[in-house]
Structure 1
């Protein structure tokens, strides 16, 4: 078993019995994506991968402005 994966699962508060179940299910196809699929099946959030399609509504502040006075030429 990959100890780093188990460490990350424990750090994310995944139950020990669920960790054993997940590792048993993915033992022949061990990948971050497969572990996350098993986590989701058991009701946990993804830990190892990010689904960027969930971030369709970016909240950018297009009106951002700096309040600093002067510019980089003033450093001389």
Structure 2
């Protein structure tokens, strides 16, 4: 099982909250690409920061970058 760190690529506005570049969460997955399990990434941002990136359209590789920890 791999652990990935997912970070924001740029500054963004999520439902009135400004999110700076580099805000990160960690997720674990059996996949080699964590974006194969978007729901885990979505749940991590909601659980830790209360940010719903899915509803605002930021939950994709255009706005997020990942690396294996």
The TM-score bracket by the shorter chain reads 0.3 to 0.5
* TM-score normalised by the chain length of structure 1: 0.34
From the two aligned structures, give the one with the greater strand fraction: 2
Larger-Rg structure? 1
* TM-score normalised by the chain length of structure 2: 0.36
